[in-house]
A and B are shown apart, each in its own frame.
Chain A
Amino acid sequence: DGGITQSPKYLFRKEGQNVTLSCEQNLNHDAMYWYRQDPGQGLRLIYYSQIVNDFQKGDIAEGYSVSREKKESFPLTVTSAQKNPTAFYLCASSWTVMNTEAFFGQGTRLTVV
């Protein structure tokens, strides 16, 4: 089945540690996105990638980093510089950035302990 897979579903991190969230898609989509969701708020864009080996900052990129070495993969690293990392993280993809019919993964809930 085609889709977007995020792993792990739950992640715990100690303060001061970096952690990487995985996002894989087998939809052959060019564009991929990372959003952050906080309770009672909408989703906010962290980073996006239009094509392999290219990515751009979104609205809240500080404290995060990404890579896009393969078309199907867009991992997100939450660094120790992110002051409030506890949140629900959602990965999405679409055919291109011009086609905004985005498909979302099931999300990763990150908790800093």
Chain B
Amino acid sequence: GEDVEQSLFLSVREGDSSVINCTYTDSSSTYLYWYKQEPGAGLQLLTYIFSNMDMKQDQRLTVLLNKKDKHLSLRIADTQTGDSAIYFCAETPSLSGNTGKLIFGQGTTLQVKP
């Protein structure tokens, strides 16, 4: 089946690193994504990783993929108050065929305390 799970809430202090975790069930997923949603706004694509990669780094963002455990994480270095938002993990399930469908987790609310 297709399922993506995330913890619902994470609180960190400004300047610390944040790690947001995600697990998924479809071992044949091709792409895995991280989206950011600020209050009352749409989703912004932060980064994505292809399923044959283990790690991807983009400035303050590091994505780690453990295919064996079907675990994806997003690390934000030097977290700022502007990083406060909801973060969604999403996958392209193998059974989606040519639909472009994304399966989303419930979202993790990141609270950054000054």
> Which A residues are within 8 Å of any B CB, using their own CB?
4, 6, 31, 33, 40-45, 48, 50, 56, 58, 90, 92, 94, 96-107, 109
Contacts and interface: CB of A to CB of B under 8 A. Distances in A.
Contacts of A42: 4, 88, 90, 103-107
A48 B99 contact: yes
Contact of B106 (A33, A41, A103): A41
B26 to A, nearest CB: 14
Contacts, number: 66
A107 B37 CA distance: 11
Interface in B91-112: 92, 98-107
30 contacts: A33-B101, A40-B8, A40-B107, A41-B106, A42-B88, A42-B103, A42-B105, A43-B43, A43-B88, A44-B104, A45-B101, A50-B98, A50-B99, A56-B99, A58-B101, A90-B43, A92-B43, A94-B100, A96-B100, A97-B98, A100-B33, A101-B45, A101-B48, A102-B100, A102-B102, A103-B45, A104-B35, A104-B43, A107-B41, A107-B42
Interface residues of B, number: 25
Contacts of B102: 43, 45, 100, 102
Nearest to A31: B100
